[in-house]
Amino acid sequence: MALQVGRRALLQAVRVQAATRCLGSARGGAAALSCSRRYVGFVKVSSVSRLDGHGARRYSSDPKEDLRVRHLDGQDAGIVVIGLNRPKAKNSISKNLVNMMMEAVEDIKKNNKVRSLIICSLVPGIFCAGADLKERAKMHQSEVGPFVSKARALITELGNLPIPTIAAIDGAALGGGLEIALACDIRIASNTAKMGLVETKLAIIPGAGGTQRLPRVIGASLAKELIFAARVVDGTEACRLGLANHSVEQNSCGDAAYLRALELAREINPQGPIAIRMAKLAINQGIEVDLSTGLAIEEACYAQVIPTKDRLEGLSAFKEKRRPHFKGE
């Protein structure tokens, strides 16, 4: 009952809380990894590709390769990496990209073996430049509203994923690109990244959740300033404002944020998957309501982990002084 109350309360007033910390540079071990690390293994399988082996980084104008999905294996099993791959269009959001991302998000939602998601770019120097304005210019006015609604629905579904989601921002994340990142639980930016909701420059407003998520992340007053002025900030400033959890010094390969995101996903991976999902649910719902209702939501989420085999495994591992092996059961 408490959980149902929490769900109904999602539309109530927001209590914005910001708790962030900045990192000045990437960790030495991660920074030393190969430049091609994030691209190895991305191979085309279907309209949404998955990791089946090892392949070289290749650019293509084939719309079927606009998005690539990599399922890591070995010790990283459970980590999924979505790579935006529209180099000629700066990863701008097109009809095709929206459809492919929606398909990928739906697949992840149905897969209980996925423990965390990283969204990154396969194009150096860019995360996502926002809407594909060339495609938008060719749309009839009657098409614009439905397209924006579909993009908004995609980003909402991304935000509703039950697993931890991390945006690795190694380049420009503007407009809709930043809205994608804002829908993620955690944002990691290189110090050279550029981030901003710049829609007012085009006499429009953020239309895929930016006006709602940015205030929840950095507070209403700062969000108004950035949106009204269409201001773009770098990764260091984004971290100071609370827009990014971490700012890392960019490396010569241009993938410092991705490497830090991978480190973080590896920290999350060994933890109890059901507990992580319930913790995310409790935080996301609780932050929108008053403290009393939030505590009721937490209690309801806690009740979901009590009967799990993972909880018993955690107790046994603690008693036996060994690492637990959680199965999500």
Residue 150 CB partners (closer than 8 Å, separation 6+)? 98, 102
CB-based burial, 26-44: b 16+ in 10 Å, e otherwise: beeebbebeeeebbebbbb
DSSP conformation letters of 256-279: HHHHHHHHHHHHHTTS-HHHHHHH
How do strand 233-234 and strand 194-196 relate by DSSP bridges? antiparallel
Question: What radius of gyration, in Å, describes the C-alpha atoms of the chain?
Answer: 20
Nearest to 293 by CA among 42, 33, 10, 34: 10
Q: Residue 139 is which amino acid?
A: M
Which DSSP category does 324 fall into?
-
Helix (H, G, I), strand (E, B) or coil at 117: strand
What is the DSSP track for 209-223? Answer: SHHHHHHHHH-HHHH
Token couple for 80: 């999924």
- Which of 97, 118, 98 is CA-nearest to residue 108? 118
- How far apart are the C-alpha atoms of 104 and 109, rounded to whole Å? 9
Active site residues: 131, 176, 179, 199
* Residues 326, 318 contacting (CB under 8 angstroms): no
Torsion angles phi and psi, residue 14, rounded to 5:
-95, 140
